[in-house]
A and B are shown apart, each in its own frame.
Chain A
Amino acid sequence: MASLKDDFKSFRRSWVQHTGMQLATLSVLTATFSVIVFGFALATNLKRVLASWGDSMRLAVYLEDDLVESDIDKIRSELEKIGSIKDITFVPREAATESFRTQMASYAPDLLEDADFSNSFPASFQLSVKGGFATEKDLRHLEQLSAIIQKIPGVEDVSYGQTWVKNYSAFVSALYTSSGVLGLILVCGSLFVVGNSIRASIAARREEIEILELVGATSTMIRRPFVFEGFVMGALAVVFALILNFGFHVWQKSFMATSFVMARLVPVISFLDPLVLVAFIIGGGFVGAFGAWLAVRKINDGWSASQGLEI
């Protein structure tokens, strides 16, 4: 009675006898898990995209106007002492001006004729930070780093697009929190769906349960097939949800590849890692098993189980 083979036989019998009900349950579960998987994949890929943007972020360390070459070298060596800086690029005043002119040429040609703009940009160091930037913790680190650099003699100002970075950080945090809350709600919904399905299954198999009680089956023996059924249903629903989401992912990538704006994001976007896939399947199984256990924990509770029986 307690072998895995028997559990599978019981599961198969349940499907054969209640095909419609089982299909409905599997469909609803698949839909629920599809949303969870979609949300997770979306959050993971947004994190990747944001991290790739974060990687490209630079700190601009603007220098005072009257510095000589030895002062600039001193500042560079001070910056090199800071461990979390990945690379340092010096941009002289002329290069900054030229860069501005190149970028603005097509937008405001008249402005470039203005003599005040010919040499109005300060020299700077452009820094990139190790580990990129993706979380609020990174934001705090960036603020601390900026404060340290600001204290180096000869540094006029440090800029890293503070407003943009704060908004970016808040967006990432909100994304994670809302994904977590949505996931939790959907998992609770899945428990409810599995529980209801198992309750219906119990009602349909009440006679079988009574016969098992009659011949001396213990509570564990009676409950186990239902919990197993919940596990298999949960795991199967996740497998179907993953297949659906993978199909959507393939379509989405091919769609993005045709768009000029989004094409460069294609290499960043990927489906879930194999380990995450396995974790999802096992997790779905456990959600199903737990939902089933909630539904069956009260059946065959020794004496009370017999109350509905008539001899």
Chain B
Amino acid sequence: MNIVVCVKQVPDTWAEKKLSSDDKTVDRESVDGVMNELDEYAVEEALKIKEAQGGEVTVLSMGPEKAVETIRKALSMGADKAVHIVDPGLHGSDALATSYALAKALGTIEHDLVILGVESTDARMSVVPAMLAERLGAAQLTFARKVEVSDGTVKIERLTDSGYDVVEAPTPAVVSVVEKINEPRYPSFKGIMAAKKKPLTTLTLADAGIEADKVGLAGSATEVAEFAPRPPKQAGQIVKDEGDGGTKLAEFLASQKFI
């Protein structure tokens, strides 16, 4: 079972995220980058499947030079090798462009399964896994809280609005996982040392056969027209409970016509 796991570097969850004013893209330079939290679960799940079934885990990431840190982290958790799509022409790619570039790169890596996080914490779109499945013509098995792999079939429990669906498909399949699925491991010291020697291939647009006019700011199908920091919220009223907190709150709710 050969698995590709897609990881994205995002601004640190706690960092103040900004848009840069010149081209209205996420400012990735001024803040620390970390592996998208939800992709840690994807890496963990890939490693677990590999440990049970054998095969290889390849990390795939598209992003600036700096994203190498995130790729190294996945390698130090235990992935075998990595592919990094990096090219100035990719800056500002939207979901349509990103899924296209990832699909192109996947064409160069042999795989039975692609595992992704369910959402990137910066873009928060939750669309790349479905778009990738569409582009690859592979089965879409997304929002999985449980994954079972046996002889060329994958069965998942997909979280839904009201419970879960049991969904099954043949490989190759595109899987996205939710954070309920496992506990991601921490890289061990040995893992960190070993990661430095693991193969990392860099792909430019040309290497991956990505057409330049379909990616980057110019090749994207969406654009940010305007943005503004949200007007600061007026500080709320905070009251210490002196035995009448519930009544005070009821009065507030009544004044706002909720009761």
The answer to whether A and B belong to the same complex is no
